[in-house]
Each structure stands twice: as C-alpha cells, then as structure tokens.
Structure 1
Amino acid sequence: MKKKKRIKDGNVIQFPGTLGHLEREGQAALEEKRFGDAIRLYTEALRFETDRVEELKMALLIAYHESESYDEGIQLSRGMLHAGEGHYFDVLDLHVLMLIQKKCYQEVGDTLGVLLEEGLPSDRYEHFAHLKALADRMSTKQNSPAAVLFKQEDTMQDKMMKLAELASPGASPYEKELIMMLANTKEHPFVQSMSLGLLREMGTAQNVTVRKFHFEKEVIPVLTDEVFSRPFYKETSAHLDQTIGQENPVLFEQAIELIKQQLFLMHPFDPEVEPSVWANAAVLHIESLYRSVSDLSNIDPEIGKALSFMKELDEILSF
C-alpha cells in the first residue's frame, strides 16, 4: 500500500486535497452564514501555496464583513487594494462599507473624493458618489454638538409638529434623541415612524433598535425603504386594484387610505399575514362600519387575526 505524498509548506504539512477541502468547507460555511467557521477555514487555506490567493482573500473578506469583524476586514481589504488583489471595485466597496461601520467617515470621504475626481466607470460612479455624500454628512454630524429636541411636557401632537418642521439636515443635532425614541415602547408609534424617516433622510448608518407593538428588530435607517416603497404595500395595493379597483372605486380609495395609515404606523414592520389577507381584511373592516358585526362571524382565521390587529391600530390612530 502506497503512502500518500505530503507537501511541506513552511511549518504546514499539506496532504493532497487539503486545500480543496478547506476551500469547499469554507464556501459551505459562508453560504450557511457560519461566518466564524468560514473565517477559520479560509485563514487556514491561505497558509498554503496556491494560485487562488485572490479568490480566497475575497471570500475571507466577505466573511469578515458579514461577521462584523470590521477591524480585521479593513486590514485585509487595505492590503488587497495596495497589492491590486481581487476585483478592485468589489474590494473597495467592502472596504468603504466597513470604514463607515467603524465611523471612519473622514477617511471614506478623502478616499472616494480622489477617485471621483480621477473618474470612475459610469456603472460605479453613482454608488460611490452616494457613499461619499453619506460619509461627508456623517463627518459633519460627528462634529456637531448634541441638542435636545423635545421637552418632558411635550404632548404627542407637540412632538409631531416639531418633527414635521425639521428638514433632514437640520435634524442632525438630534440624532441620538431620535434613535432613543425608536426603542421606547411608551412612545407613540406615529412619532416613531416620523423619527425613523428623518434618520433615514439624514443618512444614519448605524444599527438602531426599533420597538413598537409586539415587534422588535434592528435596522440601519439609511438602508430602510420608504413605507410606500415596501413590497408589502405594493402587493396589498395591487391586490385591492385587482379585486375592487374597477368594481368599487370608492371602496378601493377608502381601503388604500386606511392601509397607508396602518402601514405608516407599523413601519418598519409588516403585518404578520399575507398582503392579500391584509387587503381583504381592510375591505371588511371598512364594510363593518356600515353593517352588523355578526356578518363577519364566519371569516377566515387569518383575516380575523388581521381584523383584530386593525382594531388595535384604530385606537392608536384615533389620537
């Protein structure tokens, strides 16, 4: 029986097939979002001599970014950019995004400013120009003193008026206060939605916690969609258009207006039913204002669930 040939690479003894195995396992870990395992496997693979160094480094860079290991990722991407390794703009994109997460806004602005002056491909220019503008805004905001927007005695209507009067650049000094409002379950959901909209417009790029109703999640405001650009609203309105748009245009307009109010109140969360179910529930909800509740006794459980939550939203909307 022949012994397998071993290749010695520095202090590493490489058995035939080891590198390929590490790369396959690393790819699987990356696809399954086991980023810690992916980092370990790709780091081990890079200890061997191979003509796939650039591909391995790019995969490792993605794993660093996805696992929020930004310090290690920035160090790797900086080295790759200097050495000309990998696809330049893909490496640069991850490098810039990690610098933004580390609040290195000045470095981002300086780096992209030079590149934009030198000229970028048309398919890349808009993206990097947007990131530079974001970094410039964040850099200015970083050096702005904190300010207080609301007083303890302010009513919900007072808060709405103040938020409505703020333009996004003028809201920058109040960023921390607006972020805190999103996590405060005692705050009115309508005010929270207005606050999130301002944070999105001013370019807030950090993770913030949003709590309202029984929902909770982390979002990056600048990456959130506007309420009426979200797929849930588009699918709901499309279903209404198909079912009652031509047959009953008045009811259609009433249902659309109701859903807009409801989804703005819930933003950035979506109802826990399908868009078509929510649309049908909205129609029944409006019709129930004009007929006996007993007519709704044999409805689908999912529609019943939606109607129950709509009643809760009604109470909040009637401020």
Structure 2
Amino acid sequence: MKNGKSNVVPFPRLKERLLERGLESISQKEYKEAAALLRQARRLDHDDGEIGTAYMIALYEAGDYERAKEQGRQMLREGTGDYFEILDLFLMILVQLGEHEEISSTLHALLEEKEAPPDKLDHYEKLLAFSEKRMQMPKPEQEPGQTGRKLFETENQEEQILRVSHLVHENIRPYLDEIRAYIRDPDEHPFIQTLLLNVLKEQGITDEFEVQKLGKAGAVNPAYLLPIFETQLYNLLITRLSRDVEQKNPTLFAQVKTVLDRHFFLLYPFEPEPEDPSLWAAAYYSMGLKLFGQEAYLDKIAMYYSVEPDALLEAVRYLESLEEISLPNL
C-alpha cells in the first residue's frame, strides 16, 4: 500500500456482471445462487437501487423472509430504488410473516402523508383494513412441532381472495399441499379454486394437480394450461356471438359476454360440455335475451343454430344453474 491507497484493482464491470448473473439466476428460479451473486454486487455498490431491489427479490423468493424484510426496510430508509416498488414487496413480506402491526404502522404513516399514488390508494386502504382486522383476531395456539404457516387461516372468502392476490409475488411452494387440498375439494368455492390455479400457472408450477369443481374432475398441469380466455371454445363462442348479436344489439352482446366470462372463470380449467360451439352460442344467446327481459323463442333459436331444441333447453338450464352460484364479495 502506497500513500494510503490500495493496489487492488477490481475486475472491469464486475458489478454489472454480478448483476446480470444474479438476474439470470432469478429468471431460472435459482434464488439462493442469485442472492449470493447479488450480495457480492451490493458490496461493490451499496447505493445501486437495481441491485438492491434484485437482491431483495432473490432473498424473498429463496424464502429468507427476515433478511428480505431487513433489506427492504434499509432501502426504504435510505431512499434507494423505486420507493413504491420496494414498499409493495416489503408489505408482502410482512404479510408473509404475519407482522400486521408493522403493516398497519407503515400504511398509516404513508396515508397520513398523502403521498400514495392514486392507482395504489385503494389497494393500500384494503391491506390496512385487512391487517387491522387480523390484529384484532386472537392468535391461534401453535401445536408442538408445528412451524409452518397456513395459507388460509380464515373461512372468510373475502379475506381468502385478498390472501390469494398476494401469492403472485410469493414463493408458493410452502403452500402447495394446502393448495392441492383446496382445489381438489368439490365443496370449496370454484372462484377461489380458479384464482389458485392461475397463481400456480403464473409461477410455472409443473406438478400435477387434481381439480374437482361443479361436478367435474380431472388432473391438470398448471404450467401448461391455456389462459382462461384463450381456449378454442371460448374464442369460437365470442366470434359467433359477436357476429350474431353484437352487430344488432351491442348492449345485449356486452351482457352475454359478461355472463360467458363469469361462467368460464368459474368452470376453469373445465368448460361446458359437450364441446359444441353452436349449442353454447345458442344457449348464451337465449339466456342473454332472458336477462335482457326479452322473450327467448328456443325453437327458432335452435333452428337458427342447427341444434336440437331439447339439447338447447338442457344447456340453458345448465347455464342458469351456474348463475345461481354467488360470487364472493370483492
């Protein structure tokens, strides 16, 4: 060492290379390796918001929630990175850890300062209400040897939906057994079962899951499921109904599409059977007329769509049974 300066010269672009490798590891779901790489990058540049954010994500996805929480708290305090991106991840970690008191204090301070973006305000208010409700509930006693956290700690469907909405950015593998049990239980709500399937799909889960809902059963691999509104039957129905209804009565078509979307969401990953686009186009058209307060002449509609009147009547009754399923309050 001369003149108090180190002779050690860092490798060129070492920080950038560590960041690139860390992000690549995250994309390949190798979260522990990503955290190790990004930890080295952060030592080289503590104030780089992109590195700090990626490091926090890697810790979170690796299940190291305590370190991820401390990383988020430090970044929020120092003002590095995108404030609301860090805040959202920090809040989700607190939800994961069940630290509702800190969620409450954090959001109270944010809302009192009136600095929340308008598009996030409703989300923050709902999360605050959820956490304050959780704070008022008695904490369940943990049985000896039980260290895992449950996905659903309440039968309240509104709270279950809010919980599922946070799973998109969580490591859901600790909850796979509970999710598996939920979606194979025909007595659980089909709407929430679909939400869980979507989360499994979005996280690329390739395990096989048995699904039972609305009198249907089957095994699916979530990662390879088509999105709800991209299936062949759905698109054929939308195309046919758009041609037959939308040109004449756009309002009626909008009503029919709303009902069709709701039904396909409830049924997912299944669809109405038999897979006959003409039959279901006729049925949805008939049902739309009824909901619109108009007379549905089934014989004429059956003739127009070249389907049997009895089959059409049965299909309409099936759609009416789906309409009787009440959706959870959102």
Q: What TM-score, normalized to structure 2?
A: 0.52
Which residue of structure 2 lines up, in the alignment, with residue 34 of structure 1?
30
1:252-291 to 2 correspondences below 5 Å: 259=260, 262-263=263-264, 265-267=266-268, 269=269, 271=271, 279=277, 282-283=280-281, 290=308
Q: Which runs of 5+ in 2 are unaligned?
A: 1-5, 142-154, 160-177, 197-208, 223-227, 284-301, 323-330
Deviations 1:107-153 (A, max 9, x none): 201221122122224434333223212322333456589xxxxxxxx
- Conserved? CA contact 1:7–1:16, under 8 Å: no
Equivalent residue in structure 2 for 1:192, among 189, 193, 196: 189
> In 1, distance between residues paired with 2:99 and 2:90?
11
Amino acid at match of 1:214: G
Instruction: Write the mapping of 1:48-67 to structure 2, written as runs, cut at 5 A.
Output: 48=44, 50=45, 52-67=47-62
User: Is this contact kept in 2: 1:271–1:278, CA < 8 A?
Assistant: no
**SS of equivalent to 1:46:** helix
Q: Give the root-mean-square deviation of aligned CA atoms.
A: 5.1
CA distance in 1, matches of 2:87, 2:254: 47
The corresponding residue for 2:20 is 24
- Quick one: structure 1 residues 211 and 115, their matched pair in 2 at CA, closer, same or farther if it must change by over 3 Å? same
Higher RCO (CA < 8 A, seq sep 6+): 2
Question: Is the alpha carbon distance of 1:231 and 1:20 closer, same or farther for their aligned partners in structure 2, counting shifts above 3 Å?
Answer: same
Q: How is 1:65-144 mapped onto 2 (pairs within 5 angstroms)?
A: 65-123=60-118, 124-141=120-137, 143=139
- How far apart are the structure 2 equivalents of 1:121 and 1:90? 12
SS in 2 for 1:138: helix
CA separation of 1:291/1:215 partners in 2, compared to 1, >3 Å: closer, same or farther? same
Deviation of the 1:92 alpha carbon: 1.5
Asked whether the 8 Å contact 1:29–1:38 carries over to 2, the reply is: yes
Residue deviations 1:8-60, cap 9 Å, x none?
4xxxx843333232122123223444333321210122233x37533311211
**Aligned-pair CA distance for 1:87:** 2.7
Q: Structure 1 residue 214 and structure 2 residue 232: aligned?
A: no
Corresponding letter in the other structure for 2:211: R
Give, as a single letter, the amino acid of the residue that structure 2 aligns with 1:192.
H
Contact 1:106 1:139 in 2 (8 A): yes
**Separation of aligned partners in 1, 2:306 and 2:255:** 13
Give the Cα separation in 2 of the matches to 1:94 and 1:129. 16
Structure 1 pair 258–95 and aligned structure 2 pair: CA distance change class (3 A): closer
The code of the aligned residue for 1:118 comes to: E
Once residues 54 and 83 of structure 2 are traced to their aligned partners in structure 1, the CA distance between those partners, rounded to angstroms, is: 14
Contact 1:236 1:279 in 2 (8 A): yes
How many matched pairs?
235
CA deviation map 1:171-223 (0-9, x unaligned): xxxxxxxx8996263535xx5326769x9xxxxxxxxx9832224689xxxxx
Aligned partner of 1:46 among 42, 48, 54: 42
Separation in 1, partners of 2:210, 2:136: 25
Query: Secondary structure at 1:214's aligned position in 2?
Result: strand
Equivalent position of 1:307 in the other structure: none
Cα deviation, 1:147-180, whole Å, max 9, x if unaligned, reads: xxxxxxxxxxxxxxxx9xx9958xxxxxxxxx89
CA contact (8 A) 1:42 1:59 kept: yes
Unaligned runs of 5+ in 1: 1-5, 146-162, 170-178, 200-208, 219-229, 294-309
Closer, same or farther: CA 184–106 of 1 in aligned 2, 3 Å = same
TM-score when scaled to structure 1? 0.53
Cα distance in 2 between the residues matched to 1:52 and 1:278 = 59
In the TM superposition, what is the alpha-carbon distance from 1:65 to its structure 2 partner?
3.0
1:276-316 CA distances to partner (integer Å, 9 max, x unpaired)?
A: x88557348986861799xxxxxxxxxxxxxxxx9xx99x9
Secondary structure in 1 matching 2:21: helix
Structure 1 residues 35 and 142: CA distance shift in structure 2, 3 A: farther
Any conservation in 2 of the 1:255–1:283 contact (CA below 8 Å)? no
1:160 corresponding residue in structure 2: none
